[in-house]
Amino acid sequence: MAQTLLDKVWEAHAVRTLPSGQTQLFIGLHLVHEVTTPQAFSMLKELGLPVRMPERTFGTLDHIVPTTSQQRPYGDPLAEEMAVHMLRNAKDFGVPLFDVDSGRQGIVHVIGPELGLSQPGMTIACGDSHTATHGALGAIAFGIGTSQVRDVLATQCLAMAKPRLRQVRVEGALAPGVYAKDVILTIIRRLGVKGGVGYAYEYAGPVIERMTMEERLTVCNMSIEGGARFGYVGPDQTTFDYVKGRPYAPDGGAFDRAVTWWKAVATDAGASFDDVARIDGSTIAPVVTWGINPGQSVGVGERIPAPEAAPEDERATLREALAFMGFEAGQPITGTKIDVAFIGSCTNSRLSDLRAAAEVARRGKVAKGVRALVVPGSQGVAQAAEKEGLHELFRAAGFEWRKAGCSMCLGMNDDKLRGREVCASSSNRNFIGRQGSPHGRTLLMSPAMVAAAAIAGAIADVREVVR
Ligand code: SF4
């Protein structure tokens, strides 16, 4: 019988069915970082348990790391304390850690694929909501809570209910100036921020098939913002080419054997899904969020919608979003003044993201009064970008070139919005307070659109900058 990748990977990792009906699932790769692990490691210490499979557990420092200087001790005592705990726990439990001296440190969802740790056919868990990123490689990858981090550390297994599966097909072709970020923001807008609850998403169709791995990572990254615990893309030649030669990838004959297995886990022709959603890629424009969740977005040429035009049960949220953002219904999003431009985060901080933004940045200078940050997702990305001279290009245009970390994606380090600042951001969440100020306002968009906004000082259509 034809099976989906979800069926095959789930079956391959199922230890047994639990009395609750959940599956005890073996976890192939456990990624850990400083924020969601201190308590989990403490619980292991209290129970006198070791990490069950340290060879399948890898750590990094990302959320709290300052991006100006990574010299220890960090200025923020809380950040320093978290770093100390992470370093000590990694040492005590024999877990490899990519700290800032390793040359491999970075955002957990950037370094996993970059180092070849994340591979097709795997189950991957991490105490972070955006773990679905790794699904781009054809893996089942999901975020877990602190008590589940403890469970995986102690047993390398997790109790999970298998979700239903929706195939999200993006048909046709994208127009120039439209990026992977626009694709996923459009999927979330059309299917809703809760549309994926209870589902996993299999992204497919010609637009997804043509995407590079870095573009697929952007799409899968935001699965959770559409309510899906995880999302994936079937492994294909793009995947194999991406994985080959990376530090933790199999090599030689082992790589060839792995490719045979990776091909076998792809969804079979004729497999059935619980639901199929179709989006015409040619209808997608550069997208900007105007509200307080990633589904509240418009194409850059559109106007902010009126609550009255929405179904009754959505109007209160739309009114709250308008009031918080200080927007009027019917107002065009283009021309909205910005104070800050942020290019970074596990959604859009890879080399191709920086290249796309640089392509825009080299055509102008950051507008007066705009604070503009470029934060590579990893030390590896930073090194590659610097080799191409992108750091100099950004600096010449008036952007700050920072060190790797989560930075202004969330307010857990020194990079924060102040007061009511408006930020054009390539990150993934525009929730109230997300970027460190309880009153700060976040507009999500692609890195190229952020660069265009930085130069214009206001939301602008990147297609008019890069023709
Ligand atoms: S970049 Fe943002 S979303 Fe990604 S792991 Fe860091 S804080 Fe989480």
Kindly state the percentage of the chain with pLDDT values over 70: 100
Predicted confidence (pLDDT) per residue in 285-306, tens digit: 999 999 999 999 999 999 999 9
Closest C-alpha among 49, 13, 48 to residue 28: 13
Which tens digits make up the pLDDT trace of 21-63?
999 999 999 999 999 999 999 999 999 999 999 999 999 999 9
Q: Which residues line ligand 1 (CB under 6 A)?
A: 62-63, 107-109, 128, 130, 345-346, 406, 409-410, 427-428
Phi-psi region of 389 (alpha: psi -120 to 50; beta: other; left: phi over 0): left
For ligand 1, the distance from its centroid to the CA atom of residue 322, given in whole angstroms, is 26
Q: Mean pLDDT across the chain, nearest whole number?
A: 97
Strand positions, DSSP E, 150-224: 157-160, 164-171, 199-204
Q: Cβ(192)–Cβ(295) under 8 Å?
A: yes
The best mutation among 428, 429, 430, 431 to test binding of ligand 1, ranked by most ligand atoms within 8 Å of the C-beta, falls on 428
Give the Cα separation of 400 and 406 in Å (integer).
15
* pLDDT tens-digit map of 127-141: 999 999 999 999 999
* Nearest residue to 114 (alpha-carbon basis) of 60, 158, 64, 153: 60
Ligand 1 atom closest to residue 428's alpha carbon, by position in its atom list: 3
- Cα 113 to Cα 100, 124, 218: the distances in Å are 18, 11, 12
At 200-249, the pLDDT tens digits run 999 999 999 999 999 999 999 999 999 999 999 999 999 999 999 999 99
Q: How far apart are CA 34 and CA 32, in angstroms?
A: 7
Of all protein residues, the one whose alpha carbon is nearest to atom 4 of ligand 1 is 346
- CA of 260 relative to ligand 1 center, distance in Å: 33
Burial 294-314 (b: 16+ CB within 10 A, else e): bbbbbbbeebbbebeeeeeee
Residue 467: its pLDDT value, please?
73
Helix residue ranges per DSSP H, 25-179: 38-47, 77-93, 108-114, 146-155
Ligand 1: centre distance to CA 346 (Å): 6
- Paired residues of 323 in beta bridges: none
Phi-psi region of 391 (alpha: psi -120 to 50; beta: other; left: phi over 0): alpha
Res 466: pLDDT: 81
CB count, 10 Å around CB of 283? 14
Please say whether the beta carbons of 237 and 243 come within 8 A.
no
Residue nearest to atom 1 of ligand 1 (CA): 345
Ligand 1 atom index nearest CA of 410: 7
Give CA–CA dist 111/378, Å, rounded.
7
Categorise residue 315: left if φ over 0, alpha if ψ from -120 to 50, beta otherwise: alpha
With the CA atoms of 407, 394, 382 and 433 taken in that order, what torsion angle do they form, in degrees rounded to the nearest 10? 10
Q: Is the whole model's pTM more than 0.85, yes or no?
A: yes
Give me ligand 1 centre to Cα 409, in Å. 6
pLDDT of residue 52: 98
- Model confidence at 455, in pLDDT bands (50, 70, 90)? very high
Sole residue written with tokens 């990748």: 5
Q: What does the pLDDT read at residue 39?
A: 94
For a substitution probing ligand 1, which of 224, 345, 423 has the most ligand atoms within 8 Å of its CB? 345
Confidence of residue 178 (pLDDT cuts 50, 70, 90): very high
Cα-to-centroid distance, 131 and ligand 1 (Å) = 9
207: CA distance to ligand 1 center in Å?
26
CA angle 271, 272, 276 (to 5 degrees): 125
* Predicted pLDDT of residue 129: 95
CA of 425 to the centre of ligand 1 (A): 13
User: Which of 114, 130, 444 for a ligand 1 pocket mutation test, highest count of atoms within 8 Å of Cβ?
Assistant: 130
Give the tokens for residue 288: 């900007």
